[in-house]
Amino acid sequence: MQWNHGRRKRLCDLSRVWIQSLQLVSCKHNLLLRLEYWTGEEISMSKRRLAVTVILAVLLSQAGAEGYGERQLVVNIPAFTLCLYDDGVQIKSYPISIGTELNPSVLGETTIINKVVSPTYYPPKGAEPIPPGPENPVGTRWLGLGFAGYGIHGTNDPKSIGTAASSGCIRMQNGDIEELFPLVDVGTKVQLVYRTILMQEDPLLHTKTITVYPDVYKQGVSIAQLNEEITRLNWQGVFWPPLLTLLKSPTGQAHPLAWQWPLFLNGQATDLVAAEWNDAYYVPYDLPFDPRNPFALATVKWGEEYYLPLESYLKLTGLSYSKAQGQLNLHSPVAYLGEKSLGKALIFQNELYLSVACGTFQVIPAATQVVQLWGDIYGAAWTLVGRDTLGQIHLEWPEGSVSFSSW
């Protein structure tokens, strides 16, 4: 069959419209395709098949490109971690080895420039190349980076993963890079960053955590950096002492943040704060640390201060607590002898003490100790009311407060 110029032109025009139409449908309807066959006499069956083949090739090519979003690799040097992101969402994370302090890994943004399966290793200074195999230092895969001479590769020394052991390249376990290899392409962006502080929030439980990694390259981690990150996230009410402890002794592990609660005693504000940490409350504990104290093992040291779990503190002192309007309120019990109020009381080491502030007691001369708590002086109850009446004293706590005392 002879085709004149006019018919060829009409066929080209029809094919062009058809391709544009199908591409438009695929974009607007998420690849829910509609193939329309042209049946005019000007298109032969063989040409129509060719057109359908071309169209499907275009659409399948487009589907492959849209199968996943923009992928990116992020290497956090202090964390010894390489993460794969798809459209900004982390989908993979791998442990790595980084450059030593003398040969640190390069920081910055680059791309993958080549991919090699079973690479040959070319040592520096013209030494003999090492062919693929178990003795090859770069393992089974190589992802070349835009930084000259640097790459992401496997290893023949799996024990080095998690340490600073390379000459600047990023090492991975062979199994990990073999998994990663088909997930990235030449041109994939790669960022190498140095973040020693990582703050995150769980999307379901909304638990806020902080991870402080060791400063492997001694670039310095400061309180100002930490404060800048907290300010950026607008996380208000953070309790700082545990963070300062982490800065001094980074663990590389995620820790829940502690939150401060203004501390009140008997309705009066104090200049101290309690801490809410890991679903428990802690209050300042300024008694000398004594390992013989039954609560010694529960004591937590943050910075230079000691803190005691609230429940332990209440058992130790006989106080009760309540929460209201973001405040933690401590309440002293009131001692009664019959219906007579003896004022505020305190239980310390299972012994009852009474506040001497009211001055109505006739002190019994005896060698005894006094206890000072929150500015009040307490004397042993038996020296104030006598041993014979000690058993008649009962304690009352404010309604609605919680006490753990067994008195």
Q: Helices marked H in 137-205 — which ranges?
A: 174-180
- What secondary structure, in 3-state letters, does 232-265 show? HHCCCCECCHHHHHHHHCCCCCEEECCEEEEEEE
Q: Output phi, psi for 107, to 5 deg.
A: -105, 150
| Whole-number Å distance between alpha carbons of 299 and 277 | 13
Query: In angstroms, rounded to a whole number, what is the distance separating the alpha carbons of residues 389 and 39?
Result: 112
pLDDT at 35: 32
Mean pLDDT for the chain? 82
**Lowest-confidence pick of 7-21, 105-119, 311-325:** 7-21
Distance, CA of 78 to CA of 195 (rounded, Å): 7
| Contact present, 169 and 175 (Cβ < 8 Å) | no
* Tens digits of residue pLDDT in 224-260: 889 999 999 999 999 999 998 899 999 999 999 999 9
Catalytic center residues: 153, 169
Most confident of 34-48, 186-200, 212-226, 374-388: 186-200
Q: What is the pLDDT of residues 251-309, one digit of tens each?
A: 999 999 999 999 999 999 999 999 999 889 999 987 655 666 677 778 888 888 889 99
Q: What's the whole-number mean pLDDT along residues 133-161?
A: 96
Yes or no: say if 242 and 258 are a contact pair by the CB < 8 Å rule: yes
**Higher per-residue pLDDT: 335 or 2:** 335
The alpha carbon of residue 42 and the mean position of all alpha carbons in its chain are separated, in whole angstroms, by 66
Q: What's the CA angle centered on 293, arms 288 and 296, to 5 degrees? A: 80
Rounded to a whole number, what is the distance in angstroms from the first to the last CA of the chain?
110
pLDDT at 56 over 70: no
Report residue 383's pLDDT band, with 50, 70 and 90 as the boundaries. confident
Q: In this predicted structure, which of 63-72, 310-319, 345-354 has the lowest mean pLDDT?
A: 63-72
